[in-house]
Every structure is written in C-alpha cells, then in structure tokens.
Amino acid sequence: MSGDTPAATGRAGDTRAASSRWAVGWLDRDLAAAIALVLVSFALVTASRALGPGFGSLEQIKAILVIASFVMVVAFGQQMVILIGGLDLSVASMMTLGGVLTFSWIGASTPALLWGVPAILLITGAIGALNGIGVAVLTIPPFIMTLAMGIILYGVTLGFTQGAPQGHPSPFLATLFQAGPAGIPVLYLMAIGTSLGWLIQTRTSFGRKLYALGTNPTAAYVGGLPVRRLTVATYAISGASAGLAGVLMVGYIGGVTLMMGQSYLLPSVAAVVIGGTSITGGRGVYLGAVAGAILLTTLSTIVSSLGLAEGWRTIIYGAVIFVALLLLRDEVGIFWQRISTRSKL
C-alpha cells in the first residue's frame, strides 16, 4: 500500500483542519513552557553570581546564547523529526561532515562560501533524505536507521580525512562570533532563525501536516497526506540543519575535529524533550526546543565554570531526558505503537 495514495478531498481537508485546530490548542501551553524554561535559565545565571566574579555577568549570558545557538540549529531538525514520531541519531556525524567539508572546501576563501555552504547543505540534506527513505519506504525503525547511518557516515568522514582534516578556517564565519559595535552577529541570526523556525512549524501548510502525521499517522494517511514524502522531507531538513551547525562551528572554534558533533547529539534530543515536544509526536513548538537549549547550555556552563569533570555534563543531559520520559511514561508505550503502525503504511 503506497504511503502517498490520496483519499477523498473532503477527508483530507478535515484532517488538515483538525490538525490545525489541535496545534493551536497546544500553542499557548507550549509557549508558556518555553517562557518558563527561559526564566529558569536566567534565574540560574543570576544565582550563579554567588559563586564568584564573572558569574552571572552580561558577558557570560552572551557566551551562553552563542554556545546554545549550535544546539538550537541541530534541534530544529531534530524537533521536526520527533514531531512526526521519529528520532535522528545521525545528527552528530552530519554535523562533523558539515564541519569537515567547510574546513576542506571553503577554507579561508570568502567567495567559496557562496557555493560551498549550499553544496554542504545539499549533501547533508540528501543523506538525511536517505534516512527518511529507510524509515518511510523500507520501514526500518528510526532508531536503527539513523544510528546505522551515523556510524557509516563517521567511517566515510574518517576515510575522507585520513584521520586528520586538512584545510583552513573561514575568517568570514569567525566574524559571526566576534563582538562588534552592534553586538555579536550570530545572536541576531539566532533570533531571526528562531522566528523563521517557529513560523514554518506553526504557520505553514507543511508544518500543519507534520502535526497531523505525528498525531495519528493512520488518520494522516487515510486523510490523503503524503506520509512517505513528508517523512523523507523531514529527515532531509534534519540532515541539513546538522550540516549547517557544522559549518557554523568551524567559524566558532577555528578548526574541526572528527568528534566535534558527538557532544551535540544528546543535547539536541534533551532540548527538544524538555522543551515540551512529545516523544510520541504531534505536539510541541520550536520555541520550546530553543528554550530547552538555553537551559541545558546554562547548566553546562555552570558545571564547566565550577571546574567539575566533563562527565557531569553528560549526567545532566541523561538525567534531564530520564526525568522528562518519566513524566511522560504513559506516552512511551504509545511511541512504539506509532512506529509499528507507521511501518504498515
């Protein structure tokens, strides 16, 4: 049975209208949760002033927002995938690939950004689309498909670089993270990107279809939605988002490592979950993931500033996900039922 076979126009219209009303119904709650997470983050920063000089300063707040921007970019695609009831574990390798290609292809050439960045996003987006094909067409569980893709992609990147990436950092990308008279450019880009991400998910036909698919894949299929194409497109967006994060990371650190994406896999999932997106799909907004990214980065920054071991940061991410899943334990069983149902479409 094809996942793209249209049903009657009336049923399709009813499904889309219902999904739109449902999404709006959750909007106020999700926005309130996002605001609450941001307030908690700033409360933590304010309280950290008691730890010593430099804590809770404006400069620290700016640093937190800059670091959080990478999680936000990866979480954009991850949140879309989770919104339809999936999961993308290949984002770490996608991000590393984006960084490696930026370092090797673009290097110090600013004009090369004009063709290099679109090419990198096209490549990572195409690899993401392969994830979507595996999930939607070959009915491979998202966890297995994206985990396998991540491992394969890491091996390809390792072979391409021979273990030692060659290239140069981009001076133009570096300027995005440098403070100027008007502030740090990347913070303005972050604000614009957050607004666009929210509008795409809540104010476009594509976004409403994702809510419908995540809420009830069977009803979405019967209602005439192109389930397979939506799934492939969503995973492609996740791949491109991770690739973009890799491009930006090169500008921030002035180089690239083969493991630089690994530290963003757990945060991308944790930010989405604590931001209010349901692991069963169909509920959540990108603003929640943004707020979750800010909270996680705030906690991580405080842990690092206290001189605690790196392991504590991982413990925090794991604990956050565990608590969120515990609160949503009734939905966990539904999640696996959704995966089983989607595999039959």
Could you identify the residue written with the tokens 């209010």? 276
Model confidence at 223: pLDDT above 60: yes
Q: Evaluate whether residue 279 is within a structural domain.
A: yes
Higher pLDDT, 301 or 314: 301
Q: Is the pTM of this model over 0.75?
A: yes
Query: What's the average model confidence in pLDDT over 18-33?
Result: 58
Q: Domain of 278? A: 9-342
pLDDT, residue 338, reads 52
Residues contacting 15, CB < 8 A, separation 6+:
212, 219, 220, 222, 223, 224, 225
Total domains in the fold of the chain: 1
* CATH number of domain containing 246: 1.10.3470
Residues contacting 67, CB < 8 A, separation 6+:
297, 300, 301
Q: Evaluate whether residue 4 is within a structural domain.
A: no
Q: Evaluate whether residue 311 is within a structural domain.
A: yes
Q: Evaluate whether residue 271 is within a structural domain.
A: yes
Which of 113-127, 193-207, 265-279, 282-296: highest mean pLDDT? 113-127
φ, ψ dihedrals at 180, nearest 5°: -125, -170
Q: Evaluate whether residue 3 is within a structural domain.
A: no
Q: Evaluate whether residue 166 is within a structural domain.
A: yes
pLDDT tier, 1 (very low <50, low <70, confident <90, very high otherwise): very low
**Cβ pair 85, 340 in contact under 8 A:** no
SS3 state at 277: coil
Model confidence at 332: pLDDT above 50: no
Q: Evaluate whether residue 247 is within a structural domain.
A: yes
Which of 18-27, 118-127, 171-180, 277-286: highest mean pLDDT? 118-127
pLDDT, residue 326, reads 67
**Which of 11-15, 32-36, 121-125, 162-166 is least confident?**
11-15
pLDDT, residue 207, reads 93
Q: Evaluate whether residue 181 is within a structural domain.
A: yes
Rounded CA separation 129/321 (Å): 27
